[in-house]
Structures are given as structure tokens and as C-alpha cells.
A and B are shown apart, each in its own frame.
Chain A
Amino acid sequence: MKKLIFLLFLPLIFTSCIEIIDDISINSDGSGTFKYVVNLSDSKLKVNSILALDSLDGKKVPSISEIKSIVAEYKQKLELKEGISNVKVETDYVNFILKFQCDFVNVNDLQNAIKEIAIEKDKKQEFKEMQENWLTWDGSKLTRSVPTLTAETTQKLKKEEADALKTGTYTSITRFDRLIDKFENPKATLSKSNLACMIKTNPHALIQNLSILENTIYLTNTKKPQ
């Protein structure tokens, strides 16, 4: 799990101008689509110059082919997980943009898939964080949070690295096939269609306060207009 979280936040360590989008669509039956986009195109010169190095700060810098094989490995693992289908990964190594998406039967399947991969990667060890759920859905209410392990990982960032993240953006979008009634996070905004809810922040603020993305969203029974 630690490694998985590290991989997700690796771009944050390497660069400042980063754009991250997490986008989850939930259908009334609990199934849905999860999308995750990392955009480093504003720092591609910096990323390219880092990739030209063998190591940085004593840590090995992976080559493009190594990054490709890691991405392919995770894609393959995820495809085999129960309740997960239609796994797609788009990579652009010129602009350094990674787009990931998968469909899930229910939010538990998505969480379990991520947890299982984390356990496999971390040599079958269970973490207490594995017990927690950062997504819950009861048919009319969705609760979102950020895994507590992310906090531990991001606390390890140096002050300079964390400060440099102020210029990036982190966008969290939650979509439904029913109209949204209300939500608890005051920083969230509602789309004009009332079908999506967005929280926009920067990676620095997120590191400082992971609860910034926490939200409980209540839905009405009104279906999405056809």
C-alpha cells in the first residue's frame, strides 16, 4: 500500500506544476467508472531532464521503458480483479500525461481491487489502513475521503518539495445519474446540470489537509434527464 501511494504521489515529488484529476461516476445500482489523470506537461522540460539522470538525491530514476512496464503491470493486475472491467490506460510520454480508467460493479469492488494490489505489491502484508473504506455508497448517499496512509506518505515530503506544489491543481469530480440534493463540503461546487460535484484545490493544500476532499453527497430520486 505504501508503495502504491508512493507511486501515485511520485509525480508530486518530482515536479511542481502538476495537474491531477480524479473522477468517479456512480450509477444508482452502485456500479460506475473511475478515472484518474496525471498531467505533467507544464513541467515536461524538468521531467525530461530528470529522466536523463541515472539517479536523483540517491534514488534511482526510472527509465521510460521501466515506467511503461510498471504501468502495464498494474493494468494487468487490475484487469484480473473481481468486479473490475474495461481497464484502459492512455499514456503520452511526450507531454507526460497519464490517463487511467476502469469500470466497477460496486464501490467495494473498486476499493478491494486497489487494496489487493497494494497487498500483493507489499509482499502480502496487511495494513491496518486496509480495514478503512474511503468510499461508501448506500444508494442515496456517497461518502468520500482520502486514505490515512496518504497522510503518512505525504508528511515525508520535504518542506521545499511541498511548497513547490502550490502551483499545481488537484480536481476531484463525483458524478451521478440522479440529481444531487446537497453536499457537506463547503468547498465543493455543483455543476449546472446538478449531476456532478467538483472540489478544486492544489496539491500543496491537499497535503496539508487531506480532509479537504472529504465530502458526503446526498441524492434526490430524480433521474438524469434523457
Chain B
Amino acid sequence: MYLALINLPNAIFSDMKNNIFLILFALVFLTNSKFSAQLSEDFIPKDAVTVFSINNITLLKKVSMDELIQYDFMTEVQAELFDGSTSGKSLKDSGIDFDQKLNVFYGKNQDYEVAGFSFGINDKMKLFTVFDDFERQETQIKGIELYSSYFNHLIIKENIGMVLRVDPTYEKISVLTDSIWMARGYGYFYDGYDNSYDEKLIEPDDEEEESIQEEGNFQEEEIFEETEEMLDSTSSENLNDFDLMNKNYWEMRDSITNELQYDYFVKILDEIYLNNVHLKNNDEKFASQLLHESDGIFYLDNSRNFNNAKGLWYFQSIMPELYTDFQQLYTGNVMLGDIMLNENSVDIHFEANYGEALGTIYEKLNGTKFDKNVLKYIHQNSTGFFTYNINLKEGYNQAYDIIIPILSQEKDPRVSSNVLMAELINEFVDVDAVFDTYKGSMFGSFNGIKKVKTTKIEFFYDEETFEYGEKEIQGEEDMPIFTLGFSTNRSDIPEKVLNHFGRMTSRFKNMGTYWIVEDAIFNSVPLYIISKNDLLIFTNDEDMAKNHNSGYGSQALKGPKAKAAKKSKFMYAYFDWGLALNNLPKEMFDTKQNEILDAMRGKSGVIELKSSKTTKEKTSFDVSYKFEGDFENSGKYLLDLVNSIYVLSK
């Protein structure tokens, strides 16, 4: 269960990935809020699970729109927004009021998924140059204008717009379609698609591809024409009852999907525009977060993510009581955050909230002293490092005390046998030895790119005959240098394992103060293992293994960074992005990438993550990105950063 907390940031970033364009869009357009009768944040469906509400940004005051649209990442943002149909237009022609909040949302319940964003409008005419393929639709709701393009809808009320897409869940569609299909006497629908055909597919070569592309273009045109004809022939006037009753499975499924899509869309419209039901008045925590005077807020309701998790449907149907118990355990698991944009930093504060039962597990898990030994193995000039302090034994005991009683009430034979197994393992296995060996606390560091020794084969020639032979010589290659260490009270146990491997294979060598595993990384580079100072350390840093296996001594991490790591309770991370970029060999990137990355080189940028003490209610985290150096203004710096990350990730 404690993994849930650890995975919270992943959950956020996973959603972020799904909405990358919307988020990039939002990041750029954090705007000043302007209060009106209704605000853009009043137009977020109550089913939204993740919301980024952006407010009060000063970026556009510092960077002109003309400069902004020159960035590489903007090319894709604009392409996504303008969908290629309005080429040549830029965001400044969009009619979007950047003085109002922009709220990007996504949510899922057991019936449907909802995604979109709400925003202010200052020029409706211009807005429709962006949404040029949206057509006006009739609606029964007074005071709103409804426009649609395929599955996307734009709803405008006064000067606030909401772009909305609603999709019924796959499970919902399947259940309904299958039940109607079976009720008509067709039995269980079996999809006779032969998957083995896919395995036989052979990647076409250049010529085939060209020919396929040519054919493809032709076929696309044909298909388009055929589809148009089909649509004409199956329009509602031409369909009779016989046609409706004789649809095949997939036609029926499409009809049900369309019908559900419409029903859920109307439901959400009614909730927001008729009954004034939306996320802000449905969730106090979100409403309260909106009052924060930060530049942007985010909200992630993990408890609803648990409720709607796809894999738990079976669990919910077969063991409803157990599901309810776990649901209660997860109640109140909400992440709330603030983003602050300052002249020389971007600060993010977020809180992971949870219910008491889960909170006691986290409290025990995170209630451990900082292992000072790790600081010895982090170099003071390290580009980046993290420390992670948990007491796995305490966490395990607490989780055992809370979760086993819940599971024990369940009469399902599988759950019962699993409970018995867990109880027996708990009795028979020396739990103390396990958790003394792997305490849970760990650290890692990145020390830039170094030359590492490799062996290579070189051919040599006999001058008499030019016959050649080969010899093994030492070579060097660039490699990122990482160190990963784990706290342990039982260094004798890893030593036993290493000794065993040392006897079994010559690749494991005991060098006295450290171990070396030959060709461990990519079959080329050795891995060094150090077991000292109650730490088990893995590194590819030869210098550390040979010369600093007892720690870096006077070169070890000290001063404010060491203090911050000690003070930050369960997690601390530091990464000097500027230093990393300066040290990465230019040869790693092509000319264009280097030109873009040059904009960031020579500037400092430090990311720091700190956590608070974990209580039964919450753990707080602070992420700060501080930047200094030669930059025009903070807005330009941030955009350079976003662009560099975008280019690096391409």
C-alpha cells in the first residue's frame, strides 16, 4: 500500500503525458484572473479527477507572442490546436482571453471519461478561426451556444468557453452491447479475428512502402468515397425498423457508443448549465484550493482513481465487501498543489492527503532517522542526487496490522488462503533479518559523464605480408556515472551472496575493499559493489570504488545541501540541470539540438525537492526550480527550459 504514495507523482505525470499538449498550452498561458459573474473554473465537470487551473501568470508580459511562437514545442502545440486546417495562424489570433483562468481537466468514472478545458473568450469571431470545423447545434438549455465537431464539443456561455469530450468506457459499451446481442438470441459474440495474421506481417522494404503508400492514398480516397455513400444511404430517413434490428455486432456497438456518448454529454451539460453542479461546488478541497493566490493550482483525486481503476472491476463484482473496505482505506487520498512563478524561481508546493488508516501506515513507514552515512558517498560537486528514508519494517508491521484484519473477514477461499500464506510467512520467516538487510532507505547520485575503460579488439598488420592479427587493448568510452546505495544492518548477508557468485563465476571478483563485476553493464563496463558503513553500494564509478570506498571524506557533501537532505524527512532530491547540460558532451547531440541547447548552456538551474514530516493526514512536498545566470527575463528562461526539455525528449 505504501507504494501508492510513492507512485503518486507517477500518477500525476502519467496524466500529464496523456494531456501533454493541453499542459504545454496551459504552462505557457498562465494568466491574470478577472472576476466576472461566472468564472471559467465554474465550468469543470464534477467527474474531473485531475485539474490544472492556471492563474496569474506573467509570462506573456515578458515574452511577446511573436517570440513565443518561434519555439519548437509551440509548433506542435499550434498544430494540435489548429489541426492543420488554419495554417499560418498563431495563438494570438485565437480569440482566447488570456486574462482569465485556463482550467485543463480530465476525469473518469465507471461510465465515461471526460476531458477538456475551460477558458475566457475575448473575441468570438477569432475563436472560430481556431474552432473552424465546429458547427452550431440545437440545444434545449437557454443561455448557451453549443458547437460540435465529431466527438468534440464547444459550449459558450457569456464570455466563457468549455471544450469537452465525453467517451463512454469500453467496459460500459461492452456490457450493454453484449447484453442486447444475447437478448436477441445470438449468444455470446465471438470476435473471429485471427491474431496470428499479425505475426505473419512482414515489414515492407523501401519499394514496397512506396507502392503501399501510393496504393494507400488511392485506397483512402476510395474508402472516403465509399464511407460518404454509406453515410448517405444509412442516414436516418433511409433506415427502417428492419435495418435497425438487423445490425451486425459492430454496427450495434457503434450505435450504442454514439447513444451513450450523447446521453453522458447531455447529463454533464445539464449538471453544469442547468443544475449548477460542478467540481468546485462538489468538492470543498478543490474549491478551497482555488482560493489560493498562487499562479496555478493542481488537483488530483486519487481516491476516485482507486474507485475507477480498470483492474478493480472484477474485484468489486466478486468481493464487494472487501472492495468497500479498501475503498474506505483510500478515502481522502487527494493531492493538492500550488505553482508559484517568481523572478528567479518556480516553486511548487503540494500535499498528499490521505485517510487515517492509510495515514498510520505512511506515518510508520516514513518515521525513520536520516542515515548520515549516505552523505559520505555523495560528492560535494555531484550534479544530482536523492535520498529516500523509509522504515520498511515499521511500515510492514503497520500495514500487516491494518490490512490482514480486513482480508481475514473475507470468506472467499482464494483470499482466505492468501491470508493464511501471509500469516505463515510472517511467522516462519525471520522478518527482522529481512528488514535489517533491506531497511528501505536508499540514495542515488549522478556524477556526470566520465570516460570509462573498456576493452577493444584492434587489428595489427605484418609489414612483410600485410597479414593481420588481432589483439585486445584498452579503450575508453563516455558513460553517465551513477551510484545507488541501500542502507543495511546486515552487510554479512549481501557478502554471503557475493561470495557465492565469486565462487561460481570469474566475473565476480573480491578486490578486498570492494567487489567488481566484469562486463556487467551492456556487456562492456564493470559494476563495482561496495559493502561498508552499513551501506550496500552499486556504482560504475571506478574512482569511487578504488579510491573512495570509505566515502569522499573532505570532498563529501556538506553545507546547505547536506543540511537540507538531513532536514527533509522522507525524501530529498537535488539536480543541477545547468551543470548537467554544460557537462554533457556536445557530440551526444546533433547540430540543431546543440543550437537549441546552447540557449540553456552557461545558465544555472537547480531543482530541489523536499518533503515534510509525514503525519496521519498528509505529507507535504516542495519542489523548487531556481535559476540564475545570463537571461533576459524569467519568462524567457522558463520557455528556453521547456523548449530544451522538449528537444531533448524528442
Contact = CB atoms under 8 A, between A and B. Distances in A.
Interface of A: 2-3, 17, 19, 21, 37, 39, 41-46, 48-49, 52, 60, 92, 94-95, 97, 122-123, 125, 158-160, 164, 171, 173, 175, 191-193, 195-196, 198
B203 A60 contact: yes
Given A41-B475, A42-B475, 18 more contacts: A3-B205, A19-B458, A21-B468, A39-B457, A41-B457, A42-B454, A44-B456, A44-B523, A45-B477, A45-B521, A45-B522, A123-B205, A123-B208, A125-B207, A158-B590, A173-B466, A191-B465, A192-B463
A193 B464 CA distance: 5
A125 B208 CA distance: 12
A2 B206 contact: yes
Contacts of A60: 203
A123 B477 contact: no
Closest 7 CB pairs of A and B: A48-B522, A196-B466, A41-B456, A41-B457, A45-B524, A42-B456, A45-B477
B525 interface: yes
A52 B523 CA distance: 11
A45 B479 contact: yes
Interface centre among A44, A48, A195, A196 (most CB of B within 10 A): A44
B465 A160 contact: no
Interface residues of B, number: 30
Nearest to A160: B590
B459 A45 contact: no
Nearest to A43: B477
A95 B465 CA distance: 26
B464 A192 contact: yes
28 contacts: A3-B205, A21-B468, A39-B457, A41-B457, A41-B458, A41-B475, A42-B454, A42-B475, A43-B477, A44-B454, A45-B479, A45-B524, A48-B524, A49-B522, A92-B457, A94-B523, A95-B457, A122-B205, A123-B208, A159-B591, A171-B459, A171-B461, A191-B463, A191-B464, A192-B464, A192-B465, A193-B464, A196-B466
Contacts of A48: 522-524
A43 B456 CA distance: 8
B466 A37 contact: no
A195 B587 CA distance: 42
A159 B594 CA distance: 14
Given A41-B456, A41-B457, A94-B523, A46 B477 contact: yes
Determine chain A's interface SS by DSSP, over half rule.
Answer: mixed
B591 A198 contact: no
A159 B468 CA distance: 32
Contacts of A92: 457
Contact of A196 (B207, B465, B522): B465
Contacts of B477: 42-43, 45-46
Nearest to A189: B466
Contact of A198 (B456, B457, B466): B466
A158 B592 CA distance: 12
A191 B477 CA distance: 34
Given A3-B205, A160-B591, A44 B524 contact: yes
B594 to A, nearest CB: 9
A224 to B, nearest CB: 10
A123 B207 contact: yes
A92 B470 CA distance: 13
B281 to A, nearest CB: 47
A32 B189 CA distance: 66
Contacts of A21: 459, 468
Nearest to A51: B522
Nearest to B206: A2
Contacts of B205: 3, 122-123
Interface string B449-479: 0001011111101011110100000010101
Interface of B: 203, 205-208, 452, 454-459, 461, 463-466, 468, 475, 477, 479, 519, 521-525, 587, 590-591
Given A2-B206, A45-B477, A160-B590, A97 B457 contact: yes
Contacts of B522: 44-45, 48-49, 52
Nearest to A94: B523
B27 to A, nearest CB: 27
Contacts of B521: 45
Contacts of A123: 205, 207-208
A198 B587 CA distance: 32
Contacts of A164: 587
A208 B202 CA distance: 35
Nearest to A196: B466
Contacts of A97: 457
Contacts of B458: 19, 39, 41-42
B459 A198 contact: no
Contacts of B207: 122-123, 125
A37 B459 contact: yes
Contacts of B590: 158, 160
A160 B593 CA distance: 11
Nearest to B468: A21
A48 B465 CA distance: 35
Contacts of A42: 454, 456, 458, 475, 477
B524 A193 contact: no
A161 to B, nearest CB: 9
A188 B207 CA distance: 39
A196 B457 CA distance: 23
Contacts of A39: 457-459
A36 to B, nearest CB: 13
A14 to B, nearest CB: 14
A30 to B, nearest CB: 21
B466 A95 contact: no
Contacts of A46: 477
A190 to B, nearest CB: 9
Nearest to B522: A48
Nearest to B477: A45
A225 B564 CA distance: 79
Nearest to A3: B205
Contacts of B461: 171, 198
A193 B466 CA distance: 9
Contacts of A193: 464-465
Contacts of B523: 44, 48, 94
A150 B591 CA distance: 25
Contacts of B457: 39, 41, 92, 95, 97
A52 B521 CA distance: 11
B465 A45 contact: no
Contacts of B475: 17, 41-42
A160 B203 CA distance: 28
B518 to A, nearest CB: 11
A173 B459 CA distance: 13
Given A45-B524, A191-B466, A198-B466, A19 B459 contact: yes
Nearest to A16: B587
Contacts of A19: 458-459
Contacts of B456: 17, 41-42, 44, 95
Nearest to A46: B477
A168 to B, nearest CB: 12
B395 to A, nearest CB: 34
A171 B468 CA distance: 11
A123 B212 CA distance: 15
A47 to B, nearest CB: 8
Given A45-B525, A164-B587, A175 B203 contact: no
